[in-house]
Chain A
């Protein structure tokens, strides 16, 4: 095996596969036929720059979107968005969503018997600055049950959706919290074969950004693919 294909294989293990049977919903939804490799010189659509007209500073504070404050542990999440060369991704739109402190989403289809919080929607948006940095204030989401497997519970997480320079840098992921006892049995977290890549989805508690008498700081840095990086090979059954 060439060193290049070794590199590709090790990179492949840093992303989940489509089919991961332990996550039951993948079984009927994962593409099963071989993926087609597009020519390397193909320029992908770049799309417009998103959302700058509509993102407001208040969108980055999920605790101040209602008349009162939400219940829960206030957190300040911050980090940088970089490309594979370590350069800041400036002006990237980050869309966020999460459950409330009780582990309940404000969504018609969430029937978990935990209370809704009238002061929490769980939706945020923020743009990265010239250093690729972002921050937002929220409350720590609760774990919640799901029916994927016997006594299944998702570890607490915040959903992140990011736009970089174009379609290949598009990323949707989940940020987790350190020390969560639910990691070991979570098939979504464990769908990523590479242990270090999984660990990078776990935010780091950070005294530097913890605000005295206000909020606990967590850091979560994100790396987006460049548009011209080597396409990854994906295995199929």
Chain B
């Protein structure tokens, strides 16, 4: 007889009280990790409004980073450029359970990933980060709803 997993609840608006200690210090990361890449973007809701009270967690093997969104819905995280795909958990007030997505720093990595076989072709671009004109700086937005809603996965 298996036990039933405990139900999820929202992090609510005041999560920083409890979650700030594990947040990545991006300034320190840039200084201590000069080969790191910067990934930044905006998290927005179904009306296109920025979400100022979200927090994202990036996972790769032996890598973890937690970063909140700011008043303009922006996040910034320092990642390893050698890792081309991160799993991302999105938390916010209004999400009763985390939303799981992925971000690919290279389009070729997404196109060759069998894990994405079930993703409709036209939605794959929502999982791709774009290189900016600044070296090792990438941009990726998270849209909770809308025509170009980010692909979220079953958890």
Report A's interface with B, CB cutoff 8 A. Answer: 11, 14-18, 20, 23, 25-33, 35-39, 42, 44-48, 50-51, 54, 82-86, 95-97, 99, 105-107, 109-110, 121-125, 159, 161, 166-168, 170-174, 188-189, 191-192, 197-198, 200-201, 222-225, 229, 231-234
Contacting residues, chain A, for B9 (C-beta < 8 A): 16, 159, 172-174, 188-189, 191, 201
A-B residue pairs in contact (CB < 8 Å), sample of 11: A15-B8, A29-B46, A32-B46, A46-B59, A97-B17, A107-B13, A121-B17, A123-B18, A171-B6, A172-B9, A224-B6
The CA-CA distance from A124 to B18 in the complex, in Å, is 7
Q: Provided the pairs A47-B59, A48-B63, A95-B18 are in contact, do residues A197 and B4 lie with their beta carbons within 8 angstroms?
A: yes
Top 8 nearest A-B pairs (CB, nearest first) are A97-B18, A25-B94, A29-B94, A16-B96, A45-B59, A28-B46, A97-B17, A174-B9
B2 contacts A109, C-beta separation under 8 Å: no
B97 contacts A29, C-beta separation under 8 Å: no
Say whether B149 faces chain A, with CB atoms less than 8 Å apart.
yes
Main DSSP-derived SS at the B contact region: loop
The CA-CA distance from A25 to B29 in the complex, in Å, is 33
Interface residue from B19, B21, B100 paired with A167 (Cβ < 8 Å): B100
Number of CB contacts from chain A to chain B under 8 A: 213
Contacting residues, chain B, for A173 (C-beta < 8 A): 6-9
Say whether B22 faces chain A, with CB atoms less than 8 Å apart.
yes
A188 contacts B10, C-beta separation under 8 Å: yes
Contacting residues, chain A, for B96 (C-beta < 8 A): 16-18, 20, 23, 26, 188, 191
Contacting residues, chain A, for B104 (C-beta < 8 A): none
Q: Provided the pairs A44-B87, A159-B12, A192-B7 are in contact, do residues A33 and B95 lie with their beta carbons within 8 angstroms?
A: no
**Of listed A32, A125, A167, residue having the most chain B CB within 10 A:** A167
User: Per-position contact with A for B5-43: 1 when CB-CB < 8 Å, else 0?
Assistant: 111111111111111011000000000000000000000
A172 contacts B8, C-beta separation under 8 Å: yes
A26 contacts B5, C-beta separation under 8 Å: no
A28 contacts B144, C-beta separation under 8 Å: yes
Contacting residues, chain B, for A110 (C-beta < 8 A): 13-14
Considering only residues 128-155 of chain B, those with a C-beta below 8 Å from chain A are 144-145, 149-155
Interface residue from B3, B8, B86, B154 paired with A16 (Cβ < 8 Å): B8
The CA-CA distance from A18 to B92 in the complex, in Å, is 12
B64 contacts A48, C-beta separation under 8 Å: yes
Contacting residues, chain A, for B114 (C-beta < 8 A): 39
B153 contacts A16, C-beta separation under 8 Å: no
B63 contacts A47, C-beta separation under 8 Å: yes
